[in-house]
Structure 1
Amino acid sequence: MTGPRKTRGRAEALDTALGLGTLGSPLAKVGRFVLYAALVFVFAGPLLALLVSSFSRVTDPTSLTLIPTELTLDNFRAAFKRDVLLYLMNSFLVVGGGLLLQIAVSVSAAYALARKKFPGLRLVFLLILSTMMLPEEVLAIPLSLVLSDLNLVGSLFGMIVPVGAWAFSILVMAEFMKEIPLELEEAARLDGAGDFRIFWSVVLPLCKPALGVIGIFGFTMIWDQYLLPLLVATDSQQFTLPLALRTLRSDEEVGIGVLLAASLLAMLPSVLAFIAMQRQFMRGLTSGAIKG
């Protein structure tokens, strides 16, 4: 009985939040359906239009439609001839290496900040937090000089290293690790476990929800990078897909259909990443409220 009651409670809470809890007449149900359909159309309509139009013959950017007509793969063939697959591969290499580095740095720094006590701890937190207040444009010139000194300009590594440390991921992991009971760590120390064993076998497995959160946000942040590839890339063969989209947009020989096809390829990885990690993502978002 617990499962049905819990499900019913969630449905009632949703109806109450939408102001529909007291509407039970047939007319109210029709109104509810219309409201939900309108919300789906507003939020999903542009994405569906992008999906349908990328497989259609589109000559006017104002004539996008949700109804598929004259389906074709010509847009994708033309996009592939414009090296979109190369740009897509570059994006995957950057996001793969950058995300792995970012997660490694985030969990290591968060463990030190959350489970260790040392002088200047609050100052370190403040410095990490302050990096989130600086826009990318302010850091562009110093970052380009540092990358040039390290001989990382003109290399995909120059796009991976700067995203290896992100304050958001560090703070999320640190706050989550603070909620892990100290008794678990003390019990592991009594069994003879060291810091690394405690971190790897006790703390990290309990942080899967937080890893899902920083994984999705980190993937999206790195995937959507435009300024960093613009600073690092010295040749079109080093472009990532977001940077290549701007080049395709400025090319008068490229039709709107080709641009839509490339945009669809740029959007799909983020959607698939969220679908793959949505369970951990939702658990990570709700764990703080449940503990509170």
Structure 2
Amino acid sequence: MRRFDSALGLEARRGPVATALKVLVYTAMIVVFTGPLIGLLVSAFGKTLDPTSFTLWPDAFTLTNFVQAADKNVYTYLLNSFVVVGFGLLLQMLVSVFAAYALARKKFRGMTVVMLIMLATMMLPEEIIAIPLSLVLADLPLLNLDLIGTYAGMILPVGAWGFSILVMTEFMKEVPVELEEAARIDGAGELRTFFTIILPLCRPALGVIGVFGFTMIWDQYLLPLIVATEPDMWTLPIALRSLRSDEEVGIGVLLAASLLALLPSIIAFLAFQRQFMRGLTSGAVKG
């Protein structure tokens, strides 16, 4: 808050007028950032019959919307999302830490080209690679496997993300080489040095890529749309689009499904909050 006060020029101001101005600014921030979330939470547990009525105070508490959501298979879609994000995030973090270790500690020809390719993948919109991706998943090179209509088709493409690899690479470069040399003198091998020295020191970076990776995979829409051939395999983002276009679905069910889609991202941030903030702070100091 002190930095925010400095940005607005309020830090040096004293007196009742400055205090009232601070309270007004902070209240406006709370309303802007938490108002929609509170409104969604209240409406999901309330009897919302009019889609234009969005209140911050419930008229009557009810679980009817969540019961009706079960009739629309919302919880099946939620489970599918958890399966994809669970295995996808685990694979993504494994690939990121090992790839980052190679880029940060090993010297090989073409390393700059590899970094440029990863940056290029981050700059391409999903719509551009949609058709090539569907062709590759329909006939996986070398293995000749058809991953369309399988969970593996939704998990493998998110297993490598340039952002996570770059974050881990830059963080590992800051780990002192002397720690590895001391471990090798004590007889530690490559893997033992990596798991006991390098990886524990990179926990803040793991928190950063964990939060961003979870959000990226959880919000995937185009990839599950390409891979899922049956409604039973839909993830929650696709289901929300389907529920929105279904005239038989009430606004209350849609709000309940939206709340279920939002809560995991908030829980993931709270779970990794300490490492996430330490990672951002470390990156700011090193930068």
Q: TM-score, normalised by structure 1?
A: 0.94
Q: Report how far residue 191 of structure 1 moved.
A: 1.5
Q: Report how far residue 13 of structure 1 moved.
A: 4.0
Q: Report how far residue 31 of structure 1 moved.
A: 2.0
* CA distance in 1 between partners of 2:146 and 2:257 (Å): 31
Secondary structure of the residue aligned to 2:272 is helix
Q: What is the percent sequence identity of the aligned residues?
A: 66
Deviations 1:201-229 (A, max 9, x none): 11111000000000000000000000000
Which of residues 247, 267, 274 in structure 1 aligns to 2:269? 274
| Range that drifts further, 79-88 or 14-23 | 14-23
Does residue 17 (structure 1) correspond to residue 7 (structure 2)? The answer is yes
| Range that drifts further, 181-190 or 163-172 | 181-190
Match of 1:286 in 2: 281
AA aligned to 2:91 is L
Deviations 1:221-261 (A, max 9, x none): 00000000000001110000111000100100001111000
Match of 2:146 in 1: 151
Q: Report how far residue 120 of structure 1 moved.
A: 1.1
Match of 1:191 in 2: 186
Match of 1:167 in 2: 162
Does residue 38 (structure 1) correspond to residue 28 (structure 2)? The answer is yes
| Range that drifts further, 239-248 or 148-157 | 148-157
Does residue 28 (structure 1) correspond to residue 18 (structure 2)? The answer is yes
CA RMSD of aligned residues (A): 1.1
Secondary structure of the residue aligned to 2:202 is helix
Q: TM-score, normalised by structure 2?
A: 0.96
Does residue 109 (structure 1) correspond to residue 99 (structure 2)? The answer is yes
Unaligned runs of 5+ in 1: 1-10
Secondary structure of the residue aligned to 2:66 is helix
* CA distance in 2 between partners of 1:202 and 1:35 (Å): 45
AA aligned to 2:169 is A
Does residue 77 (structure 1) correspond to residue 72 (structure 2)? The answer is no
Q: Report how far residue 61 of structure 1 moved.
A: 2.0
| Range that drifts further, 180-189 or 217-226 | 180-189
Unaligned runs of 5+ in 2: 140-144
Does residue 255 (structure 1) correspond to residue 255 (structure 2)? The answer is no
What are the within-5 Å matches in structure 2 for residues 87-236 of structure 1?
87-149=77-139, 150-236=145-231
AA aligned to 1:248 is L
Q: How many residues align?
A: 282
AA aligned to 1:244 is A
Post-superposition, which runs of at least 4 consecutive aligned residues in structure 1 deviate over 3 A? 11-14
AA aligned to 1:17 is A
* CA distance in 2 between partners of 1:83 and 1:222 (Å): 21
Secondary structure of the residue aligned to 2:109 is coil
